Amino acid sequence: MPGRTLPTFTLAEVESHNSDKSCFVTLGRNVYDVTDFLDSHPGGADLVLEYAGKDITAILKDESSHAHSDAAYEVLSDSLVGFLVSSPTTTNSNSSNSKPNNTNANGNSKPPILEDGLEAVQDANGNWVHPRTGMSCEEDLTKDTDIASDYKTHKFLDLSRPLFPQVWFGNFSKEFYLDQVHRPRHYKAGASAPLFGNFLEPLTKTPWWVIPIVWLPPVGYGLYLASKGFSSPLGEVGCFVLGLFFWTIAEYGLHRFLFHLDYYLPDNRIGITLHFTLHGIHHYLPMDRYRLVMPPVLFAALAAPFWKLAHAVFFWDWHIATAVYCGGIFGYICYDLTHYFLHHQNLPLWWKQLKKYHLEHHFLDYENGFGVTSPFWDKVFGTEIKPKDKRV
């Protein structure tokens, strides 16, 4: 569902979906279609239908009568179909991923304190959002950006015009650029914002399925050549697994120290434009499905030094070095596909937490959470996105 622009509903439209054929519920401004969940609800479909077309904030929070686990909220997140149109009659109840009601006895707003010590701020609609990303929850990543209003407000990039020349000629300071590029925007559904706006444009877009098509055959051929140097298949398998392990370290290192060079960037347009082209555009437009996986030409440039490195480390045996290298390339394939699916697919239960973790890297804390296929190295090096006691 992320990856397309979600529609808006009036309260009357939501209330009309009040049967077992079509059952909508709301949680704050979020609208969920829970029709498919009716038969799976532990308490039976009737308990859900009792709230069909209604807001379920109160019953979800009433633990004494009907406690709900985190799994219930995960089911809801997969059922999001749109947002309630703001109106005087629209409820301002908060979802589990939305701002808390932080008011004192006099009705004055008290900003919630985020886990990184920063205070939340209020956006134009009065919602509490993270001061560095301007977002409060992962659903915000799929809300359409008002292009004209965004450009008028921030004076950064106009999404209706080619982005590359705007970055190159923008004369942005590094501080301003980093602040803006980490405030995610969302272009119109099913399309990519123009990068060059000319004949180079198709070369900037890579569908996810290109990755296995391009890289699996070389991996297979490399393993075939390497197999001639092993007396037992187990030896090659061991080297392949070793390569997979090395990839997990490379994945973390590249993401943290190259893609997020950020504050070590030179404060000039060359450094800023290179940063935007390599990874900044992904944080600026994180749900752009055609600029999410790495273009083959770019990865070939990054992979070439690793070929030399593998054969330098395992200099005594070409076959071992090749098997290890193939394991690393296969790890990259898994990484890019995982990255795409975390952004654009409903995933099995055991991956939902990983999806939540990675999307928090985009809307909450881009200075932590560098592991994509696993948070393992984040835990080792102290860059894990911690569970939040207070959520925006």
Parallel, antiparallel, or unpaired for β 80-84 and 121-122?
unpaired
The span from the CA of 209 to the CA of 298, in Å, is 16
Annotated ligand binding at 66? The verdict is no
Specify the DSSP element, H or E, that contains 27: strand 24-27
- 349 CB burial (10 A radius; 0-12, 13-18, 19+): exposed
Residues 6+ apart with CB under 8 A from 56: 25, 26, 27
Annotated ligand binding at 154? The verdict is no
The span from the CA of 346 to the CA of 348, in Å, is 7
Burial 168-191 (b: 16+ CB within 10 A, else e): eebebebeebbbbbbbbbbbeeee
Q: Look at residue 174 and give its three-state secondary structure.
A: helix
- Report whether 185 contacts 285 (CB < 8 A): yes
The span from the CA of 251 to the CA of 261, in Å, is 14
Annotated ligand binding at 17? The verdict is no
Amino acid, res. 311: H
Annotated ligand binding at 282? The verdict is yes
What are the DSSP E strand ranges found in 260-377?
A: none
Annotated ligand binding at 343? The verdict is yes
The span from the CA of 285 to the CA of 194, in Å, is 11
Annotated ligand binding at 283? The verdict is yes
State the CB neighbour count (10 A cutoff) for residue 160.
12
Annotated ligand binding at 358? The verdict is yes
Cα→Cα distances 49→12, 18, 36, 214, 338, Å: 17, 7, 12, 49, 36
Instruction: Return binding residues for heme.
Output: 41, 68
> Could you tell me which residues are annotated as the binding site?
41, 68, 255, 260, 279, 282-283, 339, 343, 358, 361-362
Residues of the binding site for Zn(2+)? 255, 260, 279, 282-283, 339, 343, 358, 361-362
